[in-house]
Amino acid sequence: MAYQEMANLYDFLMKDAPYDDWVTFTEVILKQEPKRGYVKVLDLGCGTGQITCRLASQGYDMTGVDISESMLAQASERAIKEQLKINWFKQDILHLEGLDDYDCVISYCDVINYIIERDQLERAFFGIYQALKVGGVFIFDVHSMAHVQNHMIDQVFSEVYNDLAYIWFCRQGKREGEMHHELTFFVEKQGLYQRFDEEHHQRTFLADDFISLLNDAGFKDIQVFADFEQQPLDIQSSDKTGDRLFFVCKK
């Protein structure tokens, strides 16, 4: 299950997320080649449109894609409220259709970690490659292997607010980098707390594995960054550096 009832709570739960850092990182990468004029951007796994709308407000021609209708409804409402013209599409990243000629494709907030099989990743990367113009750039982030192993697996996270509480178990999967997230929410409605549960399945791979699959899809000039830093990492040490890895890949 991917962000169904949770969509109504997502923005509250993510209120401290560093959205502006994602936007800044994107613009830094795109402005490295100003003559190319990166303007048409595809946001895969756009969620409630926080990053999509921020980039649109900076003048980028944005398209948002998500598999969750609930998330897209929140995103559309946000864009209307902010008077932003953005195209929204309900699609699965593994089966992109009718999306091409983009200067840039982004996929943030560990969306790519929801693709748990190597062949699925290869299919997704190939579809993204096809969506880009020649010379276009694909930017995405994932949990680093060190972060998954040291800070997520077998951990329990919880928060209690006035009208909301949740508990989140992160259990180890059978394979390296694999996680099963079991979330239980209690939401206050008219004086009573209603419970709902969601399960999320994620997996991360070593940086070399991502790079190999990206190369197979046709990408080149691949760089890896950590935690919004603007200096690329040495690939050999990237799996032990930072919690969130960013991949920047050219077509």
Report the CATH number that the domain containing residue 156 is assigned in CATH: 2.20.25.110
Q: Are 56 and 86 in contact (CB under 8 A)?
A: yes
> What is the spatial distance between Cα 231 and Cα 12, in angstroms, rounded to a whole number?
32
Both 20 and 139 in a single domain?
yes
The share of the chain scoring above pLDDT 70, in percent, equals 96
What tens digit of pLDDT does each residue of 192-234 get? 999 999 999 999 999 999 999 999 999 999 999 999 999 999 8
Both 53 and 114 in a single domain?
yes
Both 82 and 194 in a single domain?
no
Both 119 and 56 in a single domain?
yes
Q: What integer pLDDT is reported at residue 1 of this predicted model? A: 39
Average pLDDT over residues 2-15: 76
1 within domain boundaries = no
Both 80 and 177 in a single domain?
no
Q: Which residue has the higher pLDDT, 112 or 240?
A: 112
Number of alpha carbons in the 13 Å side-chain half-sphere of residue 51: 29
Both 40 and 104 in a single domain?
yes
113 within domain boundaries = yes
Count up the domains in the chain and report the number.
Answer: 2
Q: Which residue has the higher pLDDT, 241 or 74?
A: 74
Q: What is the mean pLDDT of the chain?
A: 93
Tell me: pLDDT of 157 over 90.
yes
> What is the spatial distance between Cα 188 and Cα 201, in angstroms, rounded to a whole number?
27
- Is the pTM for the entire model greater than 0.85? yes
Both 199 and 216 in a single domain?
no
Tell me: pLDDT of 32 over 90.
no
37 within domain boundaries = yes
Q: Identify which of 189, 188, 150, 190 has the alpha carbon closest to the alpha carbon of residue 170.
A: 150
Q: Which DSSP helix (H) or strand (E) runs through 179?
A: strand 178-189
51 within domain boundaries = yes
Q: Are 113 and 247 in contact (CB under 8 A)?
A: no
Both 218 and 192 in a single domain?
no
Average pLDDT over residues 120-131: 98
Both 158 and 94 in a single domain?
no
Tell me: pLDDT of 26 over 90.
yes
Q: Are 139 and 247 in contact (CB under 8 A)?
A: yes
For 11-48, b/e burial (b = at least 16 CB within 10 A) is eeeeeeeebeebbebbeebbeeeeeeebebbbbbbbbb
**End-to-end CA gap in the chain:** 32
Q: Which residue segment(s) compose the domain that 111 sits in?
A: 7-143+206-250
